Structure 1
Amino acid sequence: MSKKSHLKFLSEKQLSEIADFKYNYGFDGNNGEKENTSKNYFMLASVLRSNLRKFERDIIRKYEERDHKLEVPIDIDYVEISFQGLFEIKKYFSVYYNDYGLEGVAFYDFAKRGLFAVVNKEKFQNFINDIINFTQNEIDKKFVKYSANIKYISNFKLLRARDILKFSMEHLGEIVYLSLIDLPLDSKLKYGILDNLFNYLNKNNIHYYYNVESDRIELHDITPDQIQKIVSNFDIIESATCSAFTTVRPGGFNTVRREFGFEISNAEEDLPVVGIIDTGISQDSALATILLNDATFTLAGSPLVDQAGRRGLGHGTAVGGLVALGKLNHRNNFEGEIKADAKLLSIKISDSGNGFISELKLLEMLYSVKSKYPYIRLFTLTTCYSCHMSTNEAFSDYTYALDKFAYETNSLIFICTGNNEDCIAENTNYDLDYFNNEHTNLSTPADSLNNFVVGASADNLKDGAFLGIASGREFPALYTRKGHVDLSAIYNLKKNNQNYFRPDVIESGGDIGYYDENTLDWLDEPALTLLSAKSNIGVMQEVGTSFAAPLTANLAARLIKNYPHLTNESIKALIINGASLNYIQFDNGVSKLLNRVVGHGVVNELRSLYSDENSATLILEDIISHGKIKIYPINFPDYLISEELGKKSGILKITATLCFKFLPIKNNQLSYNPIHMAFSIFKNQTADDIMKPDNVLKSKLRNNLSWSENGRFVSKPLPYSNSQKISLSVNVTDLKKEESTFKLAIHAKLSEQIVGSLPENYPTEFPFSLVLTIEETIKDSKGKLYDEIQLINDVVVINDLDTILEADDLNV
């Protein structure tokens, strides 16, 4: 089959209709979340009475532990409240503020748990009185009045210093991060305490860095006594974290020694540049000719030197080699003509590949990179926290900063899920049930939504027999990490977002092997062969998600090289749309983990890069406004109806992926992404008909093919995904009934569940990209689908469009 360039919709011409979207909400009720509202109020009252007693003891202890010599003029108590169901921010935020003097400052567990500041102690006494009266009613049978709101609380407690401190002092490292609490309605209280904190830091010669954008303070070389004093006395800190990161795992690999035997033949070519956020890239390696000679961007020595890993063989160099040279050159052991797909900028954040980094300085450096090289769109980041995320843990400040960076700078960072080094000691064979353990969850910042998250398949880019332990090359490696979000713990089966998972895909990372019948180990045979940083040791053997992520970035670079005017969201959607789960089967016992472990499946380079005569990939880039629906006809060739195809059912397969980026919102896990956007493919109907309920007019092509994401839950919404994928099998009867035209529909709205309302000037128009692949699934393909799709839709071959756009640029 010939490789053909993808097609792009001329969105203004293809668009047939814009309308106001009408949601058929139905009964909003509890919206399917697991409320566990107990009718046995005696048990609830007993819990709340116990909570109250402990709260009173903790308050006394909190102020006994204060250092009054600090003379901090403002005290704020914080109450963490867990609810029976999801807390309706729009409805109850003002109620808690006005009636109880409680200002909601952060929400966790998708709004089932909230942190509230006591900003009015007199009104807070109303809360305490309601607790007392409720418990007296249910336990002591004294019939006194209380607010019914109390019955929706499951427990509460005081935020204590030990809750704020997220690490033990024995693990105190070089850097500690203080995440500050935002009080949007009482900002004077916050800044009054913050000024006192800065005075304390300056007086004690504690080196710190405050980033206003992320609202975090980075402390360097602080003592245990000092950090304890800070969290115990300055009531503006939500959490203090000290998280070590790691890029490389020590291993027992043998090393293949040889000189670099190749040169890159197209080093002078104009190629996409990718930023490698890592341990440096050796300028003595074979990558020297495609490495930008820029030593500016570093947190730890020269970025043109890489001495991390075992025997100083490097890590960033291997990552850069995968980004620039891709699968083909590695599979061929760098023999023959070597052509690069990208050039590299080294951004060094560590010399060793382990330890502590300044996240704030890293973000500052990334913004500087974009200022100096605004054309750089792609980055790789293979440094993750060494500890895993707990199930349904909220987005970290680090993740928030990277998502915001991606949104603001038109960037896309390829982030690995992190490696689970314990998998060898904890297994004797390949067992997918192992991923049920919480400690196999991914590591921050692999919870990012705007960027691209990659896990590892067992494939090692070698032909011949597969010698790893996995059930096949396409299966996930046992060391890869799974997504930490489990919505079934919050909602029931009727309310779920099938798109809300990480990673996005898995890609080749190498596998572990059998040392003997019952022992697993890191072995050369199933590992990847990678470029080392030392010129006298040409290659080395390694495995890890650290190498799956740059391989995916290589595909992105090739897509940008082929289609330079596509947005990053289109690049992301093309990779996801091409990925497949076809060769990965999880047994029933672990089937629910499938997407959390492998995402949308294994990357398929060919499908992402090219169309062919029997398969057309169409790309729609457009903008949609809050509260609107847009309709785009998709027209199919007549030969699919008029000619004999050998079968009537399943003549076509349609796969479609939607991606968009968003400005993240802090302190609210449920509405971190406040944009609900959904799409689907419907019968040949108008927007008004598509919006009608099924019992009035059936618009679905299949009963199980509805909107890609459910937006009908308003007061207690699902978390929204900015990456969604659907598929559809097309029959001849479908095409006949709909006169060879289906309707692609997309709609959008903003969430109402925002702490303190949406930020001022938050966007109300949202760019998006939608990738649609239509492929014949008949035995004897006709060889004309691509050409006829092009003729009957308002599309243009992308390479032709690029030529037109480049000519326009020259004429400006």
Structure 2
Amino acid sequence: MPNRKHLRLLSEKQLEKVIPMKFKYGFPQENEDDDEEPKNYFRVAQTLSRDRDRFYKYVAIKNERRNKALNVPHYIDHVLFTFQGQFVISDFFNKYYNDFGLEAVAFYDFGKKGLFAIIDHEKFQVFMNEMYKFIQKELENQTELEYENYVLYIASFELLQIREILKFRLDQMQGLVYLSIMNLPLHEGLKTDILGRLFTYLQEKNIAIKFDESNERLELNNPTPEILQEIVENFDIIESATNSAFTTVRPGEFNTVTREQGVNIVNAEEDLPIIGIIDTGISSTSAIAPLLINDRSFTLNGDPFIDTANFQRNGHGTPVAGLATLGKINHLNQFNENVIADAKALSIKISNGETSYISEIDLVKMLYDVKVKYPQIKIFTLTTCYDRHKTTNETFSDYTFLLDKFAYETDSLIFICTANNNDAINDNSSYDLGYFHSEKTNICTPADSMNNFTVGAAADNIANGPFLGISDGREFPTLFSRKGNVDLSLIFSRNKTNNNYFKPDVIESGGDLGYYNPTSLDYMDDSMIDLISARPEKGLFKDVGTSFATPLIANLAVKIQKQYPELNPQTVKALIINSASLNKVPFDKSVSKLRSRVAGHGYIDNFKSVFSNENSATLILEDVLSDDDLKVYPIHFPQYLTTMDLGKQNRILKITATLCFSFLPIKNNQLSYNPIHIAFSIFKNHEAEDIIKSNIEVDSKLKTTLTWSQNGRYKSKPIPYSNTQKLELIVNVSDLINEENAFKLAVHCLVTDQIIGGLPAGYPSDFPFSLVINIEETTKNKTGLLYDEIQLINNLEVIGNLDTDTTVEIDSLDV
């Protein structure tokens, strides 16, 4: 079956109509107050009474601990509220400031927790007095007392103290420490004064610092625990202090050398795409040396052409670069034939070994420098993560924010591993997906990055022969892979959630654990991957990890880039996710709710990511939306699907569609970190005005279960918005007949107003998006007509010219 190029949907020609979006579509009627007012006032009053007593007690202790000799110009207390429901920033930001003297600083738990600075203590005392009236009325039965209703919105509150600010134990601190500076938009002068005194203090203590002014964070080089404690207790503009210990690879004694191996790369002189390998360096004496870009400019720690990481100095960046540039097939064949490379590699060295403290500020600055020098680089790999897993529903770190911002501003895509869970061996004696219920299996920063691409490990070890891992199959996630840390069911009601909001994005071959004996697990050779060593005399060695699954997806991305260089990175992301499937990864009922959080969108189909064929056409739409836009595009289907005898009437087509877009992230609000809601769906052959009517007025749904990819109806208390969404639709002959062989693709956009201080000045007003639609004929006897016929009746064009040399290689990718 010959490979066919994907098809571009010409948006201007195919677009039928643009209208303002009105939220009348058929979701249940919204009641945004249903989770706000507590039903058991007595219990709430007990909680608030306890919190009130503790608050005053801890304020007194905090004041006693301050070092007045430091002459800090201002002291600011902060209070952390937990609300009964979501805090409506657009309605209450000004009220809390004007009436209660509270300035909102940040929001967590998707809007249910808020951090406020006490700017006016007299006004705040009015707030506390109203709360005390509520406590007296409910606990002391003083029924004559009246209080303001806003008290009922508070579930609990506490003073922000050092234990909430420090994200690590002081007695375990070493290396670099990051101080995240609070946002005080209405009192910038106070912050500037305190920050100036902090700079002087650090200079007096001889602490080397770097100040990332645009992102409001300080990097401190190895402060003592005593100095750090004094900073947090006296300089009231520190929202969080993090100790950035990174881990690149798991420690271990295996990494077995297999044999000396030469690699004959026959196309190293070609003009290939370049992948940026953010890692421990790439050995210039290794088998992939011919693919190295000759540039030593980009390093934080030593020569970027030397890689001594991993056991026996087999390297980490080198095998990652080998997988990224040479891909799955060459590794499957153990390089026994002439090797055709897919990309070249730029070494971006950030570390020398397995664990270190890396300057996030310098790292991100270096990435921007890379893009200035090599603007053609779109794809990067990053297989270093924090060694601490994220807690459930923990907000985005500053590091994640910086990488999301970088991806948006430079039109790039970083492939990031979930990190390995090295405890999985000792915690398990067999393959048990229930292990992922544990919080310790959560991903590590920055794997929660939304603009980039997160990869977990499937058990496949890229080898011919029987599968010898412990997992239930090659496509299943390994126990050392990690799951997404977000569980929206703990925040929202069952009817108010977002099924697209999860990490990782996909899983890919990363090797598996093996049975050391019937009751214990270990890293065993038979289930490991053969990798290129940094030491040329060693040839190949064996290892496993999410670090090695990640560059395989990056390799697939550059295959797409090579075939379709004009596509933007979010389209590449959508193509890969659209090809993924969970069909071969069934989870038992006891763990079924974890499936997406562990396996993402599933295991990849390499061929579908890169090519169409006669019976499977992939359409690519790249377009732009503005706030409140609804765009409608008709998709026409060939007549032969309703007139020819296909052998069956039902399930003749399968449509899989994925939308991806990049956004400029917003700090200090987990809920509105992505303020852009873009959603899509496929509807009946109706007018745009009918599509947005309620189901009672006009039912435009093709299937009762097929609605908008995510819900933007909740405006004052929105669900978190995902920038990656996927839908599937099974089509019967009757569906096509009823709609005269045409469905309507609809995409709409809105920008939330639930942002502290509103959208920043200069925030974008146009939002590009990428939508990939695969239409596959699923009849038993394929007609071979779909690809050609669908072009004749839609505004489509073939993207680029087919390179027959790559056709043979891609054709064998699905292993």
Letter of the structure 2 residue corresponding to residue 678 of structure 1: A
Q: What does residue 168 of structure 1 align with?
A: 169
Q: What does residue 134 of structure 2 align with?
A: 134
Q: What does residue 419 of structure 1 align with?
A: 420
CA shift at 1:255, angstroms? 2.0
Q: What does residue 637 of structure 1 align with?
A: 638
CA shift at 1:40, angstroms? 2.2
Q: What does residue 812 of structure 2 align with?
A: none
State the secondary structure of the residue aligned to 1:525: helix
Distance 2:799 2:167 in 1: 50
Q: What does residue 22 of structure 2 align with?
A: 22
Q: Are 1:69 and 2:69 matched, yes or no?
A: yes
Distance 2:133 2:494 in 1: 36
CA shift at 1:90, angstroms? 1.0
| Percent of matched pairs sharing the same residue | 56
Distance 2:414 2:257 in 1: 31
Q: How does 1:108-187 map to 2 (within 5 A)?
A: 108-142=108-142, 143-187=144-188
Distance 1:84 1:749 in 2: 26
Q: Are 1:579 and 2:580 matched, yes or no?
A: yes
Q: What does residue 807 of structure 1 align with?
A: none
Distance 1:581 1:337 in 2: 34
Is the CA contact (8 Å cut-off) linking 1:133 and 1:145 kept in structure 2?
yes
Distance 2:3 2:710 in 1: 33
Q: How does 1:325-340 map to 2 (within 5 A)?
A: 325-340=326-341
CA shift at 1:561, angstroms? 0.2
TM-score after normalising by structure 1: 0.97
CA shift at 1:38, angstroms? 3.0
Q: What does residue 810 of structure 1 align with?
A: none
Is the CA contact (8 Å cut-off) linking 2:276 and 2:346 kept in structure 1?
yes
CA shift at 1:612, angstroms? 0.2
Q: What does residue 381 of structure 2 align with?
A: 380
CA shift at 1:254, angstroms? 5.4
TM-score after normalising by structure 2: 0.97
Distance 1:464 1:257 in 2: 17
CA shift at 1:278, angstroms? 0.3
Q: What does residue 297 of structure 2 align with?
A: 296
CA shift at 1:801, angstroms? 11
Q: How does 1:520-531 map to 2 (within 5 A)?
A: 520-531=521-532
Q: How does 1:723-742 map to 2 (within 5 A)?
A: 723-742=724-743
State the secondary structure of the residue aligned to 1:670: coil
1:257 to 1:590, Cα distance in 2 relative to 1, 3 A? closer
CA shift at 1:436, angstroms? 0.5
Is the CA contact (8 Å cut-off) linking 1:509 and 1:548 kept in structure 2?
yes
Q: What does residue 228 of structure 1 align with?
A: 229
Distance 1:712 1:749 in 2: 10
Deviations 1:742-776 (A, max 9, x none): 10000000012111111112112110010000000
Distance 2:18 2:211 in 1: 45
Distance 1:707 1:169 in 2: 47
State the secondary structure of the residue aligned to 1:589: helix
Q: How does 1:673-688 map to 2 (within 5 A)?
A: 673-688=674-689
Letter of the structure 1 residue corresponding to residue 480 of structure 2: Y
Letter of the structure 2 residue corresponding to residue 750 of structure 1: V
Is the CA contact (8 Å cut-off) linking 1:178 and 1:238 kept in structure 2?
yes
State the secondary structure of the residue aligned to 1:424: helix
RMSD: 1.2
5+ residue gaps, structure 1: 803-812
1:669 to 1:555, Cα distance in 2 relative to 1, 3 A? same
State the secondary structure of the residue aligned to 2:594: helix
Q: Are 1:490 and 2:494 matched, yes or no?
A: no
Distance 1:593 1:262 in 2: 41
Is the CA contact (8 Å cut-off) linking 2:255 and 2:543 kept in structure 1?
no
CA shift at 1:30, angstroms? 2.8
Distance 2:78 2:53 in 1: 16
Letter of the structure 1 residue corresponding to residue 204 of structure 2: K
Q: What does residue 595 of structure 2 align with?
A: 594
Choose 793-802 or 70-79, whichever is displaced more.
Answer: 793-802
State the secondary structure of the residue aligned to 1:799: coil
State the secondary structure of the residue aligned to 2:259: coil
CA shift at 1:353, angstroms? 2.5
Letter of the structure 1 residue corresponding to residue 718 of structure 2: P
Choose 18-27 or 160-169, whichever is displaced more.
Answer: 18-27
Q: How does 1:581-730 map to 2 (within 5 A)?
A: 581-730=582-731
Deviations 1:467-486 (A, max 9, x none): 00000000000100000000
The runs of 4+ residues in structure 1 deviating greater than 6 Å are none
Is the CA contact (8 Å cut-off) linking 2:508 and 2:549 kept in structure 1?
yes
1:449 to 1:188, Cα distance in 2 relative to 1, 3 A? same
Distance 2:597 2:168 in 1: 27
Is the CA contact (8 Å cut-off) linking 2:4 and 2:802 kept in structure 1?
no
Is the CA contact (8 Å cut-off) linking 1:635 and 1:741 kept in structure 2?
yes
Is the CA contact (8 Å cut-off) linking 1:28 and 1:714 kept in structure 2?
no
Is the CA contact (8 Å cut-off) linking 2:261 and 2:539 kept in structure 1?
yes
Distance 2:397 2:171 in 1: 22
Choose 611-620 or 195-204, whichever is displaced more.
Answer: 195-204
Is the CA contact (8 Å cut-off) linking 1:31 and 1:713 kept in structure 2?
no
1:254 to 1:280, Cα distance in 2 relative to 1, 3 A? closer
State the secondary structure of the residue aligned to 1:471: coil
Q: What does residue 513 of structure 1 align with?
A: 514
Letter of the structure 2 residue corresponding to residue 628 of structure 1: D
Distance 2:29 2:583 in 1: 38
CA shift at 1:185, angstroms? 1.1
Is the CA contact (8 Å cut-off) linking 2:264 and 2:337 kept in structure 1?
no
State the secondary structure of the residue aligned to 2:132: helix
Distance 1:326 1:133 in 2: 68
Letter of the structure 1 residue corresponding to residue 124 of structure 2: F
Aligned residue pairs: how many? 800
Distance 1:582 1:41 in 2: 48
Is the CA contact (8 Å cut-off) linking 2:259 and 2:541 kept in structure 1?
no
Distance 1:162 1:556 in 2: 43
CA shift at 1:629, angstroms? 0.4
Distance 1:505 1:40 in 2: 44
CA shift at 1:449, angstroms? 0.2
Q: What does residue 402 of structure 2 align with?
A: 401
CA shift at 1:186, angstroms? 1.1
Deviations 1:701-741 (A, max 9, x none): 00000000111111111000000000000111111111111
Letter of the structure 1 residue corresponding to residue 367 of structure 2: L
Letter of the structure 2 residue corresponding to residue 361 of structure 1: D
Letter of the structure 1 residue corresponding to residue 421 of structure 2: N
Deviations 1:298-346 (A, max 9, x none): 1110010000010111000000000000000000011101011000000
Distance 1:384 1:782 in 2: 48
Deviations 1:541-592 (A, max 9, x none): 1100001110000000000000000011110000000011111100111000
Distance 2:540 2:90 in 1: 58
Distance 2:738 2:802 in 1: 34
Q: What does residue 78 of structure 1 align with?
A: 78
State the secondary structure of the residue aligned to 1:219: strand
Choose 41-50 or 498-507, whichever is displaced more.
Answer: 41-50
CA shift at 1:523, angstroms? 0.7
Distance 1:254 1:83 in 2: 51
Q: Are 1:200 and 2:201 matched, yes or no?
A: yes
Distance 2:255 2:763 in 1: 54
Choose 272-281 or 132-141, whichever is displaced more.
Answer: 132-141
Distance 2:241 2:692 in 1: 48
Letter of the structure 2 residue corresponding to residue 114 of structure 1: G
Is the CA contact (8 Å cut-off) linking 1:573 and 1:769 kept in structure 2?
yes
Distance 1:126 1:800 in 2: 71
Is the CA contact (8 Å cut-off) linking 2:247 and 2:355 kept in structure 1?
yes
Is the CA contact (8 Å cut-off) linking 1:441 and 1:481 kept in structure 2?
yes
